[in-house]
Amino acid sequence: MCISKRFLWKKISPEDEKHYFFGYYDRCPWNDDDSLHLCLKVNQASRLPVKGETAEIGVLDGSGSFEHLATTRTWCHQQGAMELFLPHRNQFIYNDFDGEKVVARIYEMGKGIVGKYNRGIYTISPNGRFGISLDFARIPRRGYSYAEAPLPDDVHPKNLDHDGLWLVDLVSGAEKLLVSYSTMLKKHPWRYSCEDVSFWLNHAIFNCDSSRILWLFRQHTQANVLGNWWHTFMYTCDLEGRDTACVLPETYWHSGAISHQIWGRTPHEILVDANWDGTGNHAVVFDESQRPFLAKKISESHGGMAHMVFSPDGTKLLADSYPVNGKQQLDLIDVATGKMEQLGVFAHQQPKGTVAEVRCDLHPRWSHDGKKITVDSIHSGKRAVYLLKL
């Protein structure tokens, strides 16, 4: 099936009966020189993983081959195993289950597993020095968590003073509680609403110069989180947690007014996909350190919800779409003019019986040099990785 009549897309994962994908849009799948692309290989893409079900982790070199390197028991269809290359170290990390808890293993190319961190890593800083950890078990959206991290029975974490967002030194392995749940609740604009509801953390991201972190603090009143919407509060802080603040409370997210978030081109800029005026979703940026809140629209986007991410030089935006009438689209937006160019349309027909949490989003990702884009797509019938050279 033709993705684009103008742009030449290439499938870089193997032609076989397995499913291949990387995962989320807010991270880079490439090694330092953009020659190797991390990838997961799994047997099925129609249901959530179960305990003991493994995924292979390997690399793609652009030729259509997959080199198996490791196996993990902690993976999901939306975000993989959080596999990420460590800058300047010829190593990558990935989450796994050690028999008792979620950990992050360190794999060195040409050697194998050379170490581990005692906590699962959610993301790493662009400079490769730090990682962020949180409790994957508390994430009720199981397409974004692990079967080996079962949901706890308690509504709240057992000790609000000693759990929350963790900072991990990726050189020494030292870890510290960066922001506790207690601190988040003290900064929470609707503190009274948190007493008897479940809450959890996810979508932690470092900014462009590795100096700040944003994350989402979410809460829900029902046991079945997928049956009803949840409340979202975006927090930010520096690497000491000193200026922790809720910069986007639920008021801004209400009823899907924001679909996704990511850091922007400068240390305090945040990009969101927002439909605040009711005319469709737009690419909007704001300075999280500025009060009062001021938003600036970069582009009209394509009208629907999108995962959006700036190019490494900040001049372009990628914006995908959720499936609409069995199709997903990917657009390239010029930041200076707002002009939009369609890079491709991908057929999206999940097999009958597939649960929503394992859907295949495009999740567009840039290479370090900004010359290549990859996406995950199911348009050929199997989940696969596709590349476009710009």
Nearest-angstrom CA–CA distance, 282 and 205: 21
Predicted confidence at residue 196, as pLDDT, reads: 84
| Residue of 128, 121, 134, 120 lying closest to 85 (CA atoms) | 128
Nearest-angstrom CA–CA distance, 261 and 97: 29
Retrieve residue 371's tokens.
């010359």
* Threshold 0.85, pTM exceeds: yes
Retrieve residue 279's tokens.
């005319």
Predicted confidence at residue 288, as pLDDT, reads: 97
Q: Which helix (H) or strand (E) holds 237?
A: strand 231-238
Nearest-angstrom CA–CA distance, 26 and 273: 13
For the chain, residues with pLDDT lower than 70 are 222-228, 303
Cα end-to-end distance, the chain, whole Å:
20
Residue that has been written with the tokens 């978030």 in this structure: 261
The architecture CATH gives domain 9-389: 7 Propeller (2.130)
- Residues 301, 280 contacting (CB under 8 angstroms): yes
Q: Taking the domains of the chain in order of start, what are their residue ranges?
A: 9-389
Predicted confidence at residue 229, as pLDDT, reads: 73
Which sign, positive or negative, has the C-alpha torsion 45, 261, 386, 127?
A: negative
Q: What single-letter amino acid sits at 44?
A: Q
Predicted confidence at residue 224, as pLDDT, reads: 54
